[in-house]
Structure formats: C-alpha cells, structure tokens
Amino acid sequence: MEVINLELILRLFLALILGFALGLERELTNKYAGLRTHILVCLGACVFTILSVYGFPTFAIGDNVIIDQATGVRDTARIAAQIVTGIGFIGAGTVLRNGPMVFGLTTAATLWIAASIGMACGAGMYDIAIVSTVISVAVLTIIRVFERRILPSSGKQIKRYKVSIYCNGNDVRAIYDYLVTRVDDMRDFTSKKLIENPEKSKISASFELSNKKVVNEIYYKLGDITDADSVSIQELND
C-alpha cells in the first residue's frame, strides 16, 4: 500500500486556501465568478501541476533526472503549459459585451492569476504562491479605493446598471419617460409582451449613473409609478 504523501496534500490545501482568498473578494463584490469558481480553478491548476511532475513514469526533481529508456526524459511542463491556455476558456465565460461596453475583464484576470497561484502550489513554490495572493487581493481592494477616491477625473466613478421590470403593458411609456429624466445615459431600452400573458410586458434597459445613491431612489420610484410585478437593478461594472 502506497504511503500518503503529506507534502502533496499540503500543496492541495494551500491552493484551496489561496483560491478562497481570491474568490472571497469577487464574491463580496457580487461578480459572476465567485468563491467556488476561484477555489476550483486554483485547486485544479495545482492538481494538474502535480500530475505533470509526479504522475508519469518519467520526471525530473532538482538535479536528479529519471529517464525512461524507451521514451527518454519527459517534458514535465507539458501539462502545466496547457493550463495557461485552457484557463482562457473559463475566463472568456465571465467576459460580457453589451453594445460598446465590455464587462468582466477583471474577474477573468482574477481567474487567470488564480490558476497561476495553483500552479505555484503544485510546484511547491509556497513563497511565490502566498506573496502572489497577497498582492492580488491588495490590487483588487486597495486599487479600487485608489481609483474611486484619488482618481475621480478618470471616469471610474461612472457606474453602469441593468434594470429589468415585469409590469402592465400600459406602464411602459411612463417607465421610459421617468428613466430618461433620472439617468445620465440610457441605452438598449426594450419592451416585450409576455407570451403567456400579452397584457404584461418585460422591460429591459441599461444606463449609466455618476451618483450611486440615485439607484435606490430609482428602484423605489419605479415601484410607485407602476403596478410592477418585479423590479431588479444590477450593477454591471467590473
């Protein structure tokens, strides 16, 4: 019976903890890829890296190279290299485009760094993995505060939102007229009648606001001026 390798188990748990640290920041800011996604990406990259080095008959550790007489020295970075390109498929799933606006790039970049941290854990480079996690979390939190408070002229204060409303069809015009007067830049306003109930409509629109406090005002006002079944407003920024 093969003895459990505690060193490799430690690498897996470290990848889990560091992936949790990155995912927690995304989860708290209500992004598409949150806690579980970042944990699994980091842990998966760690597992693949371990398999790349230890899971095959030929591998290299330090100065000791084990050579398979039939195939020669195996390229231990082959599987790990595919992680770098493979993570792009997951990252692409978090990037959304709405007209000229693109959202989710920061989350995609966070998944990318999560994979690299997992690879560092799998390779046993604990110092690189931990320091990279600390720096990444600092960038996601401290730099956001810096952008909002120190660089107000950069345009980062402008927030983009998407509103969805289920209401009576005769309320569509009133909702449009109200939003036009309250938001800074409204776009993609659409109204569609529900197939199951033609008297009801679904309204969707995206808009920009420079004052975040106005969102709550808009939310409650929409409920007052219409007999809406539901009103939801989602922030679209990274």
pLDDT digits (tens, 9 = 90+) for 41-80: 999 999 988 888 777 655 444 454 444 444 455 566 677 7
**What integer pLDDT is reported at residue 97 of this predicted model?**
60
Q: What percent of the chain has pLDDT over 90?
A: 13
Q: Do 100 and 209 share a domain, yes or no?
A: no
Domain around 40: 6-149
Residue 154 lies in a domain: no
Share of the chain above pLDDT 70, in %: 78
Q: How far is CA 201 from the centre of its chain?
A: 31
Domain-embedded: residue 54 = yes
Same domain, 170 and 141: no
124-159 per-position pLDDT tens digit: 899 999 999 999 988 888 877 776 676 654 444 677
Model pLDDT, residue 73: 55
Q: Which tokens sit at 65? A: 């190279």
- Residue in the block written with tokens 């069809």: 169
Last residue of a domain, one of 93, 114, 149: 149
Q: Do the Cβ atoms of 64 and 172 come closer than 8 Å?
A: no
- Considering the domain architecture, whether residues 173 and 125 belong to the same structural domain is answered as no
Cite the DSSP H helix spans in 59-171.
78-94, 105-122, 126-149
Domain boundary residue, one of 149, 176, 206? 149
| 231 or 131, which is more confident | 131
Give Cα separations from 186 to 69, 163, 165, 213, 226 (angstroms). 68, 11, 15, 17, 19
Q: Let me know whether 141 and 167 are in one domain.
A: no
23 lies in the same domain as 83: yes
Residue 145 lies in a domain: yes
Q: Tell whether 128 and 182 lie within a shared domain.
A: no
Same domain assignment for residues 48 and 145:
yes
Compare 26 and 153 and report the one with higher pLDDT: 26
Asked if 13 and 84 sit in the same domain, the reply is yes
43 lies in the same domain as 142: yes
On whether both 139 and 168 belong to a single domain, the answer is no
Number of domains present in the structure of the chain: 2
pTM: 0.57
CA atoms within 13 A on the CB side of 202: 8
**What is the distance between the terminal CA atoms of the chain, rounded to a whole angstrom?**
50
pLDDT on residue 179? 84
**Helix residue ranges, H only, 123-190:** 126-149, 172-182
Residues 16 and 105 in one domain: yes
- In this predicted model, which residue has the larger pLDDT, 95 or 163? 163
